[in-house]
Structure 1
């Protein structure tokens, strides 16, 4: 297998917990806050960032949501975090409980192996 010549994307699992201020907002106010305060800040500061959001409050009292961010490289991820920290989402609407950042199949890249994964149909 040929060695990778490009930097692999960075995946960050941002474990967060909602705050009383966030929960006091209506659903519409929450959506408006995200689309007017967070999205513009991210778009103004970085490119090459994608996101997905998972609700976990059904299963965890410590973490209510997991935000999954994929960035094209370390610099894009750093700009993303800087942008988020300048919005009320960082430690006002959400407490950032933990950040788990990694590279998918990093071991395979390191050792020149094909990734091991499962696929079921």
Structure 2
């Protein structure tokens, strides 16, 4: 069971970014242990550096799609915070080498309701 910390509950993103990515043959050629080592060595430090402003959730979609294999969902407190994260990612092999960045979709959760001062529609 996943627990939610008080810090997670206080994180109020200004925008959410859906990064549609496809694993490269190079990435898939690594052993599972090597992949996790690379994530720990190169990806995790960037996440930690930007943790105050950006959060990441991974979604595997290769079971149901062919154009992309994964969706990286980023919640960001500001556009600038997200931009700084991307600048750091682009300096690594994770950006368009191990993973091909297929599409980036950015949105604001429930903007339709906030823009019209209305209640959010939910169940």
What TM-score, normalized to structure 1?
Answer: 0.85
Structure 1 ranges of 4+ moved more than 6 A:
none
Per-residue CA deviation, residues 34-89 of structure 1 (Å, 9 max, x unaligned), is 11111213434663211110111111111000011111111111111111111110
The Cα shift of 1:8 comes to 5.0
Alignment of 1:36-115 (within 5 A): 36-44=41-49, 47-115=52-120
Per-residue CA deviation, residues 68-113 of structure 1 (Å, 9 max, x unaligned), is 1111111111111111111110000000000011110011111111
Aligned positions, number: 112
Structure 1 equivalent of residue 26 of structure 2: 21
Q: CA RMSD in A?
A: 1.6
The Cα shift of 1:28 comes to 1.1
Structure 2 unaligned regions, length at least 5: 1-11
Once structures 1 and 2 are overlaid, which stretch shifts more, 14-23 or 69-78? 69-78
